[in-house]
Amino acid sequence: MLRTYQEIISVFKIITISGNSVLQDFGSGNAWDIDTQQNKFPLLWIDPYLKDHQYKNGVLYLNADIYILDLVKDDRSNEIYVISDMIRVAIDLINNMKDNYDAYGFWIQKEQGGAINIQQFSEKWDDRVSGVKFNVNIEVIDDGSTCENIFTTVVSEKGTVW
């Protein structure tokens, strides 16, 4: 089951909106587009912009940053609680998606097998937002056989194929 870039974003949205008991909103795009006045929190945001993507041996590797964030109280008294919860959500998301190709049509970091570094942050976007950010490689099997290739073989008058 080949997933397009757009379908992958939609899967993350569905998981965020209906597949968990913590997250309240989803967004995608450049991370600087996160709007602390418009978005509901806790929020999952996927930022695939300005990243290198790779195609190798029939696998498409899409690189993205994922932010999971929430608002803290004005006095920041719940900041550790918020960061702790967002780390737990990140771990749950990673574990849920790393080996579920049949369910989602893609993996997170399956073949590369490396650790996913989860970075915590405070006071990003405004002084009331804290959470975590991590980078993932989203892996999609794409051997070119599932869609009609838009390029056709051209044969010249001399019989040369190109």
Answer whether residue 112 shows pLDDT above 60: no
Distance between CA atoms of 29 and 55, rounded to whole angstroms? 22
Q: Are the CB atoms for 38 and 26 separated by under 8 Å?
A: no
Mean pLDDT of the chain: 83
Q: By CB neighbour count within 10 A (0-12 exposed, 13-18 middle, 19+ buried), where does 3 fall? A: buried
Q: How far apart are CA 41 and CA 116, in angstroms?
A: 24
The three-point CA angle 113-114-117 to 5° equals 140
Cα 151 from Cα 126, distance rounded (Å)? 48
- State mean pLDDT over 78-91: 95
Alpha-carbon gap, residue 15 to 93, rounded angstroms: 9
Lowest mean pLDDT across 2-6, 37-41, 111-115, 119-123: 111-115
What does the alpha-carbon distance between residue 147 and residue 152 come to, in Å, rounded to a whole number?
Answer: 13
What percentage of the chain has pLDDT greater than the value 90?
35
For 29, the token pair is 């795009």
Separation CA 140–CA 3 (nearest Å): 7
pLDDT reported for residue 133:
95
The full set of domain ranges for the chain reads 5-141
Q: What is the pLDDT of residues 12-25, one digit of tens each?
A: 999 888 877 899 99
Name which residue leads in pLDDT, 40 or 156: 40
Tokens of 150: 């838009």
CATH topology of domain 5-141: Alpha-Beta Plaits (3.30.70)
Say yes or no to pLDDT of 115 above 90.
no
